[in-house]
Chain A
Amino acid sequence: MWERILHMLRKEFAQVFRDPRMRMVIFGVPVIQCLIFGYAVTMDVRHIGLVVMDLDNTPRSRDLVAGFLGSNYFDALRRTHDEREARGEVDAGRAGAILRIEAGFARELDAGRTAPVQLLVDGSDSNTARLVLNYSQQVVGTFGRATLEARQLALTGRRPPPALVELEARAWFNENLESRNYFVPGIMAILVMLVTLMLTGMAVVREKEIGTIEQIMVTPIRPIEFILGKCAPFVVIGFIDVALVTLVGVGWFDVPIRGSFLVLLGGMGLFLLSTLGIGLFISTVSQTQQQAMMTTFFFFFPAMLLSGFIYPIANMPEPVQWLTIVNPLRHVLIIIRGVFLKGVGVDTLWPQMLALALIGSAVLGFAVSRFRKTLA
């Protein structure tokens, strides 16, 4: 039996690595993904283009404008008094907000009355708009606090305490709030899933499509040996991807790895049960590589989106949150991030490992039994 598996393995490895471009894809794609996620995926919003319409143009109004521009969140895109011009910048998508200070701002302020300030926000990107509103509230709040202090000093001659609530904020596990620390380790799960799911499925179907499966059937190889031989190269590629992502993440992006690499490998191993199972299942229901690819995507895409990889599960509607429990990607991501960022071990991660083992053995068992039937 082992000899036959070995032959099968050699054939599969030869087939996958024969094409130098395929080698490039298998090892290049993980690196490209790491770079994109390491650099491009960030929701933190800075340097929002601000159009300043300071119609008051007094030291007080300029102070407020300076408060906005000094906050690091806003960049002065242009200063104008012309409403149409300001609006044009927003229409063209260059400006995120317009700050409009009416004439009489300083007068109201000095008289101890509320001075209104207008902010027009481009809401087309709701996430950015929300942050813009938040930042602006903070800037205006700080300015209002300073006004209060100045007024108190002027009226009573005593300087009030500068701050009455002191917030000491600390972020655990990821002190500098680098989003790449969160995304880059997660890529390994996505890659392993894509490689094992799509490549396994397509590799089996390819034999059906070009007719070589008949030739394999007439050899003495048994279905289980065929399955093992087909899956093994992709398991190897999957683990190489894990190592690659870890290498790029730790070496290039300085992502910390605080837990044990062994726990990580264990988690990935359990995860492979599910992905190989789904890959095999897809190969049994597909006749052409096109079908295999599309069916893979039909599984892969919702699995990726409903895993918490990018979109937090806590934000999903409750029924959908329940649905994510059967998603192996969700569990393995918790394991990966737990190991990388939190440094937790099996004692905290055992529920996820158990879930992966259960889902994996169920899916793989079903797929193998189906596979035997279609081959026989």
Chain B
Amino acid sequence: MNLRRLWAVARKEAIHIRRDPRSLILAIGIPMLMIVLFGYALTLDVDRVPFAVWDQSGTPQSRDLVARFTASRYFSLHAAVDNPEAIERAIDRREILLGVVIDSRFAEDIEAGRPGRVQAMVDGSDGNTAAIVLGYTGAVAQAHDRAIALEQARRRGVDVPDTPVDLRARVWFNADLESKNFIIPGLIAVIMGLIAALLTSLTVAREWERGTMEQLISTPVRPAELILGKLVPYFVIGMVDVLVAVGMAVYVFDVPLRGSVTLLLAMAALFIVGTLSQGILISTLARAQLLASQLAMVSTFLPAFLLSGFMFSIANMPAPVQVVTHIVPARYFVSLVKGIYLRGVGLETMWFDALLLAAFAAIVAGLAIVKFKKRLA
């Protein structure tokens, strides 16, 4: 290993990057775009569900129930209708997600001590949203049921408190339940996966495709120097991306950073070395840019996006998929970043994740060098 040769490769690669200003701008621009999108536009929180109601009862009792829906911040009344077809049409046209039909004997039934019937029809196409909407609907119906039961009990002279059990919920780490606070930190991992897929996966394949690899081989540069030299400029870009992401999170989107910035950057550096090496490894194996780009997408970006726990919680996945997530390095990085950001914890709780991340970086970088040697031979 000769540092001078390594440095020469790094400089050569940096010149390549500088000559292609658009790619460089996009390498910084795409992460910024992602943060803006996720910070501003994208959320999985289900709020203000548009619903239509067909109140066949038209009594104070049924209007009370409707009022309970409209008062909830989870629902917003789209229309009051008077026939079932209108609900069907509105669901087909995706104007509403929920149709509530109150039975014509709702009030009589309740007065007689029988359950008053309410029908809820939810557009189930998006199963996740529908499940949440049904949960909210159930909660409204339950609250109404409790209120009536309480009233009836009091009328019979039973002395009971409004709420027998008072649930005092306190939310830690993210008191306002803002999804950006948990998505933006995790996004850093996705961005890194992306940089690896977009930048480094092509860097070796390009030399093969253009025929410049033969020229490189004829120089005294060694495989380790070549691979590490190629890593250096992309590492710098990756770190700039991390700084941009952390900066935007704090200054534009007010995401609190409770833990240590130094630890965050150190972990990010470890993770970047790992994913960039993975990109180079793919590039070495593929030798063609088209193939390398596709392989990199599938092996770095998609897992970082879908299997890292960045957005979809790993605990909810089926057991075999959970096993697979253990080989996704982004998983450990996401849990580290979220820990540092939201819980403000340090290495004392998360040393194992950090260790795995370091091991991953070392193994993949080593593998890239070894594979490259074999390719040359």
CB proximity of A62 to chain B, nearest CB, Å:
14
State whether B30 touches A172 (Cβ < 8 A).
no
- The chain A residue sitting closest to B44, CB to CB, is A127
State whether B291 touches A32 (Cβ < 8 A).
no
State whether B149 touches A119 (Cβ < 8 A).
no
List, in ascending order, chain A residues with CB within 8 A of B286's CB. Answer: 21
Answer yes or no: B41 CB below 8 A from chain A CBs.
yes
State whether B166 touches A148 (Cβ < 8 A).
no
Answer yes or no: B156 CB below 8 A from chain A CBs.
yes
CB contact under 8 A between A114 and B166, given known A131-B135, A182-B127, A342-B125: yes
List, in ascending order, chain A residues with CB within 8 A of B122's CB. Answer: 169-172
Answer yes or no: B170 CB below 8 A from chain A CBs.
yes
CB proximity of B36 to chain A, nearest CB, Å:
10
List, in ascending order, chain A residues with CB within 8 A of B116's CB. Answer: 164-166
Stretch of B175-183, B273-281, B363-371 on the interface side: B175-183
State whether A123 touches B175 (Cβ < 8 A).
yes
State whether A19 touches B291 (Cβ < 8 A).
yes
1/0 contact string of A150-192 vs chain B (CB within 8 Å): 0110011010110111111111111111111110000000000
Answer yes or no: A92 CB below 8 A from chain B CBs.
yes
State whether A311 touches B43 (Cβ < 8 A).
yes
Q: Is the interface of B mostly helix, strand, loop or mixed?
A: helix
1/0 contact string of B1-20 vs chain A (CB within 8 Å): 00000000000000000001
Q: Which of B40, B143, B179 contacts A127 (CB 8 A)?
A: B179
1/0 contact string of B76-118 vs chain A (CB within 8 Å): 0000000000000001111000000000000000100111111
- The chain A residue sitting closest to B42, CB to CB, is A311
Q: Which of A177-212 contact B (CB under 8 A)?
A: 177-182, 194, 198-199, 202-203, 206, 209-210
Answer yes or no: B298 CB below 8 A from chain A CBs.
yes
State whether A209 touches B26 (Cβ < 8 A).
no
Distance of A202 Cα from B202 Cα, bound (Å)? 12
Distance of A198 Cα from B301 Cα, bound (Å)? 15
Q: Using C-beta atoms within 8 Å of the partner chain, give the interface range for chain A.
A: 35 or more
Answer yes or no: A145 CB below 8 A from chain B CBs.
yes
State whether B169 touches A121 (Cβ < 8 A).
yes
CB proximity of B342 to chain A, nearest CB, Å:
4
Answer yes or no: A341 CB below 8 A from chain B CBs.
yes
Distance of A122 Cα from B171 Cα, bound (Å)? 6
1/0 contact string of B306-317 vs chain A (CB within 8 Å): 110000110111
CB proximity of A185 to chain B, nearest CB, Å:
10
Q: Which of B148, B166, B194, B317 contacts A40 (CB 8 A)?
A: B317
Answer yes or no: B233 CB below 8 A from chain A CBs.
no
State whether A348 touches B92 (Cβ < 8 A).
yes
State whether B22 touches A291 (Cβ < 8 A).
yes
State whether B164 touches A148 (Cβ < 8 A).
yes
List, in ascending order, chain B residues with CB within 8 A of A126's CB. Answer: 45, 174, 177-179, 181-182
State whether B125 touches A174 (Cβ < 8 A).
yes
Distance of A128 Cα from B174 Cα, bound (Å)? 12
State whether A92 touches B349 (Cβ < 8 A).
yes
1/0 contact string of B110-151 vs chain A (CB within 8 Å): 100111111111111111111110111111011111101110
CB proximity of A92 to chain B, nearest CB, Å:
6
State whether A134 touches B182 (Cβ < 8 A).
no
Answer yes or no: B66 CB below 8 A from chain A CBs.
no
State whether A122 touches B126 (Cβ < 8 A).
no
- The chain A residue sitting closest to B194, CB to CB, is A297
Answer yes or no: B251 CB below 8 A from chain A CBs.
no
List, in ascending order, chain B residues with CB within 8 A of A291's CB. Answer: 20, 22-23
CB contact under 8 A between A22 and B291, given known A115-B166, A166-B116, A295-B26: yes
CB proximity of A251 to chain B, nearest CB, Å:
19
State whether B177 touches A293 (Cβ < 8 A).
no
Answer yes or no: B222 CB below 8 A from chain A CBs.
no
CB proximity of A28 to chain B, nearest CB, Å:
8
State whether B202 touches A167 (Cβ < 8 A).
no
Distance of A126 Cα from B43 Cα, bound (Å)? 10
Answer yes or no: A33 CB below 8 A from chain B CBs.
yes
State whether B130 touches A174 (Cβ < 8 A).
yes
CB contact under 8 A between A164 and B145, given known A42-B312, A125-B313, A144-B163: yes
State whether A179 touches B127 (Cβ < 8 A).
yes
State whether A44 touches B131 (Cβ < 8 A).
yes
List, in ascending order, chain A residues with CB within 8 A of B42's CB. Answer: 305-306, 311, 315-316
List, in ascending order, chain A residues with CB within 8 A of B165's CB. Answer: 64, 109, 114-117, 140, 143-144, 147
List, in ascending order, chain A residues with CB within 8 A of B136's CB. Answer: 134
Answer yes or no: B58 CB below 8 A from chain A CBs.
no
1/0 contact string of B330-362 vs chain A (CB within 8 Å): 000001001100110100010000000000000
CB proximity of B364 to chain A, nearest CB, Å:
20
1/0 contact string of A289-330 vs chain B (CB within 8 Å): 111011101100110011000111011110010000000000
Q: A165-B110, A294-B22 are in contact. List 9 more A-B contacts (CB 8 A).
A: A22-B288, A40-B317, A90-B172, A143-B164, A164-B116, A167-B118, A177-B127, A179-B128, A312-B46
Residues in B lying within 8 Å of A, measured CB to CB: 20, 22-23, 26-27, 29-30, 33-34, 37-38, 40-47, 50, 65, 91-94, 110, 113-132, 134-139, 141-146, 148-150, 152-153, 156-175, 177-179, 181-182, 194, 198-199, 202, 206, 209-210, 286, 288-291, 293-295, 297-298, 302, 306-307, 312-313, 315-318, 320-321, 335, 338-339, 342-343, 345, 349
**Can you identify 25 A-B contacts, CB atoms within 8 angstroms?**
A19-B291, A29-B298, A112-B161, A116-B165, A116-B166, A117-B168, A119-B169, A122-B171, A127-B44, A127-B45, A131-B132, A131-B135, A141-B142, A145-B145, A145-B149, A152-B156, A169-B119, A175-B124, A177-B134, A182-B128, A194-B297, A209-B210, A294-B27, A312-B129, A316-B41
